Chains A and B, each alone.
Chain A
Amino acid sequence: EIVLTQSPGTLSLSPGERATLSCGASQTVNNYYLAWYQQKPGQAPRLLIYGASSRATDIPDRFSGSGSGTEFSLTISRLEAEDFAVYFCQQYGSSPWTFGQGTKVEIK
């Protein structure tokens, strides 16, 4: 099973700042099969990025994904109020499909 480790656990930033979240995999993730989700308290996860760098439908372009192999990242170029949430990465290249433990982006 591929273990995904996200860092940092918590990111304290102000609106307008840039956020960079990391997701490290214990083994190579095949074919860039890495997705990112956003989850707000009491809500379902929302797909942001798939294929490591492709934005899902209706996702603003301030969200971008990059990386390959075992190192991936999600960047939010300028944080807006609605972006403060928990973010999870997920690999879907090898079964079982696994998720990271999450990074919380909180208001500083």
Chain B
Amino acid sequence: EVQLVESGGGLVQPGDFLRLSCAASGFTFSIHWMTWVRQAPGKGLEWVANIKHDGSEKYYVDSVKGRFTISRDNAKKSLYLQMTSLGADDTAVYYCARDACGTGDCRYNFFDHWGQGTQVTVSS
């Protein structure tokens, strides 16, 4: 069974940093692009960043460029999101999601498995 379990969320102050983790199991992690998607309170979903299966390519939504860094450790089957200079607009549930393409060096950009999410709250 595919499982994605996020951790690392919490309450932080504006300007702080936080590192989110996502532990993957039940599938070959190293062949999938992986993604972070967030959902602000009462709002829709927003794609944040994604990373190629080998970590060689990374892409970000404009609002987090220069502040967030996505990374992965295939040996540990883990995905990370390092977040710095956090602001109130970053308050959201952050989901780790798997790209639906699972045949090697491919990317579909839609997501067939999601974690339960971790809450990040930025407030003074």
Residues of A within 8 A of B (CB): 33, 35, 37, 43-47, 50, 56-57, 88, 90, 92, 95-102
Question: Chain B interface residue count: which class?
Answer: 20 to 34
User: 10 tightest A-B contacts by CB?
Assistant: A92-B109, A44-B114, A99-B45, A35-B110, A101-B44, A97-B47, A47-B112, A92-B110, A96-B61, A50-B110
When chains A and B are docked, how far (Å) is the Cα of A86 from the Cα of B114? 16
B47, B113, B115: the one within 8 Å of A98 (CB): B47
Instruction: Please give me the residue from chain B that is nearest to A51 by CB atom.
Output: B110
Contact A45 B46 (CB under 8 A): no
* Contact residues in B for A50 (Cβ distance below 8 Å): 100, 108, 110
Taken residue by residue from 54 to 84, chain B's Cβ proximity to chain A (1 for < 8 Å, 0 otherwise) reads as: 0000010110000000000000000000000
Instruction: Please give me the residue from chain B that is nearest to A44 by CB atom.
Output: B114
Given contact pairs A56-B112, A92-B110, A95-B59, A44 touches B95 in the complex (Cβ within 8 A):
yes
When chains A and B are docked, how far (Å) is the Cα of A81 from the Cα of B19? 38
Given contact pairs A44-B117, A47-B100, A99 touches B110 in the complex (Cβ within 8 A):
no
Contact A33 B44 (CB under 8 A): no
Q: Does B116 contact A (CB under 8 A)?
A: yes
Contact B45 A45 (CB under 8 A): yes
When chains A and B are docked, how far (Å) is the Cα of A44 from the Cα of B36? 13
When chains A and B are docked, how far (Å) is the Cα of A35 from the Cα of B35? 16
Contact B44 A45 (CB under 8 A): no
